[in-house]
Chains A and B, each alone.
Chain A
Amino acid sequence: MTKIDVTVDGVKYTDDVEPRTLLVHYLREQIGKVGTVVGCDTSNCGACTVDLDGQSVKSCTVLAVQADGSEVTTIEGLADEDGNLHPMQTAFHEQHALQCGFCTPGMIMACRDLLKNNPNPSEEEIRAGIEGNLCRCTGYQNIVRAVQAAAGNVTTGSGVSA
Chain B
Amino acid sequence: MTAVEEKPATLQIGQPRKRKEDRHLITGRTTWCDNMVLPGMLHLAILRSPMAHATITSIDTTEAKTRPGVVAVYTGQDFKDTQGNLPCAWPVTPDMVNPGAPSLAVTQVNHVGECVAVVVARTKAAAQDALEGIDVEYEPLPAILDMEDAIKEGSPLVHPNTASNKSYTWAFEAGAAGTGAPIDDALANAEVTVKRRFIQQRLIPAFMEPRSTVVQPIGEGVLVHSATQIPHILRTMLALTLGIEEQKVRVVAPDVGGGFGGKIPVTPEEVITTLVARKLNKPVKYTESRSESLMSAHHGRDQIQDITITAKRDGTVTGLDVHLLADMGAYLRLVGPGVPILGAFMFPAIYKIPAYRFVCDGIFTTKTATDAYRGAGRPEATYAIERIMDELAAELGMDPMELRRKNWITHEEFPYTMVAGLTYDSGNYEAATDKALELIGWDELRAEQKQRRESNDPVQIGLGISTFTEMCGLAPSRVLGSLAYGAGGWESASVRMLATGKVEVVTGASAHGQGHETAFSQIVADQLGVAFEDVEIIHGDTQSSPKGLDTYGSRSLAVGGIAIVKATEKVIEKARKIAAHLLEANEDDLDFAAGSFSVKGSPGSAVSIGEVAFATFMAHNLPDGVEPSLDSDAVYDPENFSFPHGTHLCAVEIDTETGFTKIRKYVCVDDIGNPINPMIIEGQVHGGLAQGIAQALFEEAVYDDDGNLTTGTFVDYTLPSAADLPSFVTDRTVTPSTSNPLGVKGVGEAGTIASTPAVINAVVDALRQYGVNDIQMPATPERVWRAIHGGDTASGGGGAHRAEGGTNAYGGASTSTSDGANS
Check if A134 sits within 8 Å of B721, measured CB to CB: yes
CB distance from A59 to the nearest CB of B (A): 13
CB-defined contacts of A103 to chain B, threshold 8 Å: 208
Q: Are A100 and B725 in contact (CB under 8 A)?
A: no
Task: Flag whether A150 is at the interface (Cβ < 8 A).
Answer: no
Determine if A102 and B679 form an interchain contact, defined as CB atoms under 8 angstroms apart.
Answer: no
User: Is the beta-carbon distance between B713 and A102 smaller than 8 angstroms?
Assistant: no
Asked whether B490 is an interface residue with its Cβ less than 8 Å from the other chain, the reply is no
Inter-chain contact A100/B513, CB cutoff 8 Å: yes
Please determine whether B26 and A101 come into contact, CB atoms closer than 8 angstroms.
Answer: yes
Q: How far is the CB of A141 from chain B (nearest CB, A)?
A: 5
A134 to B771, CA, bound (A): 37
Known: A89-B26, A136-B208. Contact between A141 and B727, CB under 8 A? yes
Beta-carbon contact of B714 and A128 below 8 Å: no
In Å, the complex CA distance between A37 and B260 comes to 20
Interface residues of B in 665-693 (CB under 8 A from A): 669, 675, 678-684, 686-691
Q: Are B722 and A101 in contact (CB under 8 A)?
A: no
- Complex Cα distance A151/B727, Å? 18
B210 beta carbon closer than 8 Å to chain A: yes
**Cα of A127 to Cα of B512 in the assembled complex, Å:** 25
In terms of DSSP, what is the predominant structure of the interface of chain B? loop
Tell me if B27 and A78 are in contact (CB < 8 A).
yes
- Contact A92–B26 (Cβ < 8 Å): yes
Of residues 452 through 500 on chain B, the ones whose CB sits less than 8 Å from some CB of chain A are: none
Nearest CB of B to A77, in Å: 9
Q: Are A74 and B28 in contact (CB under 8 A)?
A: yes
Partner of A104, one of B25, B683, B719, B733: B25
Q: Which of A76, A132, A137, A143 gathers most chain B CB within 10 Å? A: A137
A53 CB–B CB distance under 8 Å: no
Q: Does B291 have its Cβ within 8 Å of any Cβ on chain A?
A: yes
Most buried by B among A42, A85, A108, A143: A42
Task: Provide the residues of chain B in CB contact with A135, threshold 8 Å.
Answer: 208, 722
Alpha-carbon gap, A45 to B683, bound state (A):
20
Q: Taking the complex as formed, is A159 at the interface, i.e. its CB lies under 8 A from any CB of chain B?
A: yes
A65 in the interface (beta carbon within 8 A)? no
User: B208 to A93, Cβ gap below 8 A?
Assistant: no
Q: Say which residue of B124, B255, B683, B714 sits within 8 Å of A138 (CB atoms).
A: B683
B290 partner residues in chain A, CB cutoff 8 A? 39-42, 45
- Kindly specify which of B13-21, B388-396, B534-542, B701-709 makes contact with the partner chain: B13-21
**Interface hits, A124-162 → B, CB 8 Å:** 126-128, 130-144, 157-162
* B279 close to chain A: CB less than 8 A: no
Query: Which of B29-37, B138-146, B181-189, B338-346 lies on the face that meets chain A?
Result: B29-37
The answer on a CB contact under 8 Å between A127 and B28 is no
Given A35-B28, A160-B16; A139-B689 close (CB under 8 Å): yes
Whether a CB of chain A sits under 8 angstroms from the CB of B557 is no
Q: Are B18 and A137 in contact (CB under 8 A)?
A: no
CB-CB under 8 A for A162 and B714, given A136-B258, A143-B722: no
Cα(A132)–Cα(B724), bound, Å: 12
Contact A37 B32 (CB under 8 A): yes
Closest to B518 in A: A96
Given contacts A126-B722, A137-B258, contact A39 B208 (CB under 8 A): yes
For A106, give the chain B residue with the smallest CB separation.
B208
List 6 additional A-B contacts (Cβ < 8 Å) besides A44-B714, A101-B22, A134-B719. Answer: A34-B35, A38-B34, A98-B22, A101-B21, A133-B722, A162-B669
Q: List 14 A-B contacts (CB under 8 A).
A: A34-B32, A37-B209, A38-B210, A39-B208, A40-B290, A44-B713, A45-B290, A75-B27, A130-B722, A134-B208, A140-B690, A141-B725, A144-B722, A161-B731
| A-to-B contact residues, CB < 8 Å | 18, 28-29, 32-42, 44-45, 47, 74-76, 78-79, 85, 89, 92-94, 96, 98-105, 108, 123, 126-128, 130-144, 157-162
